[in-house]
């Protein structure tokens, strides 16, 4: 049954395109119009809305990348009283910190690894290690301030959304059963 199929993709465009192709191929089946596609983020948000209490995210709002950058810029201002930081000859803006934070969250790596990967992907040596450590020490309080900002306002960002749902589905058998019982494929 088409309503028991969930199409997931990284982009809305590709998810909708896959659903449309299936609808065209299965036009002789009236229920094919019920097939839907969504991004991983929108599916996770659907799960959060439906099972927010079980996830511990009841009444949480979601902030997008632009809002996250603005919140990180606010955190930089709170910590350093300036809109960006210059550390180890590297300008570290809200967007750079956001990218590092996102990478660390999504790959579940530490801040040092995220900084090396995002800012110095092909460089090695003591100079780089020193720069990474300086940057880590400078941005760690900013990230802490950002996390407090989110918590105090009951916000999650897109990275939290994916991580929270993935972790909950992995650890909570009853939630996993509820979600998986909605789909066959």
Instruction: Give residues with Cβ within 8 angstroms of 106, minimum separation 6.
Output: 159, 162, 163
Instruction: Say what the pLDDT of residue 72 is.
Output: 96
Q: Please state, in angstroms and rounded to a whole number, the distance separating the CA atoms of residues 92 and 184.
A: 46
Instruction: Say what the pLDDT of residue 135 is.
Output: 95
What are the structure tokens assigned to 52, written together? 């927010």
Instruction: Say what the pLDDT of residue 27 is.
Output: 67
Is beta strand 36-39 parallel, antiparallel or unpaired with respect to 61-63?
Answer: unpaired
Reported pTM: 0.81
Instruction: Say what the pLDDT of residue 58 is.
Output: 85
Instruction: Say what the pLDDT of residue 56 is.
Output: 86
Instruction: Say what the pLDDT of residue 73 is.
Output: 95
Positions in the chain whose pLDDT score sits under 50? none
Instruction: Say what the pLDDT of residue 37 is.
Output: 82
Instruction: Express each pLDDT in 32-61 by its tens digit.
Output: 777 778 899 899 999 999 999 988 888 888
């Amino acid at each position: 049954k088409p309503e028991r199929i969930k199409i997931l993709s990284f982009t809305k465009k590709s998810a909708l395109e896959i659903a449309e192709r299936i609808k065209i191929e299965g036009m002789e089946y009236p229920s094919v119009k019920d097939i839907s596609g969504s991004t991983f983020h929108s599916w996770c948000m659907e799960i959060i809305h439906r099972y927010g209490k079980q996830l511990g995210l009841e009444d949480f709002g979601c902030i997008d990348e632009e809002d996250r950058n603005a919140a990180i810029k606010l955190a930089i201002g709170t910590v350093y009283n300036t809109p960006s930081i210059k550390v180890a000859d590297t300008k570290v803006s809200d967007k750079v910190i956001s990218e590092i934070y996102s990478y660390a969250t999504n790959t579940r790596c530490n801040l040092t690894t995220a900084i090396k990967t995002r800012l110095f992907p092909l460089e090695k040596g003591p100079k780089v290690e020193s720069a990474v450590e300086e940057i880590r020490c400078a941005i760690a309080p900013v990230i802490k301030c950002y996390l407090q900002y989110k918590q105090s306002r009951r916000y999650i960002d897109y990275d939290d959304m994916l991580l929270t749902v993935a972790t909950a589905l992995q650890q909570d058998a009853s939630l996993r059963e509820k979600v998986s019982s909605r789909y066959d494929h």
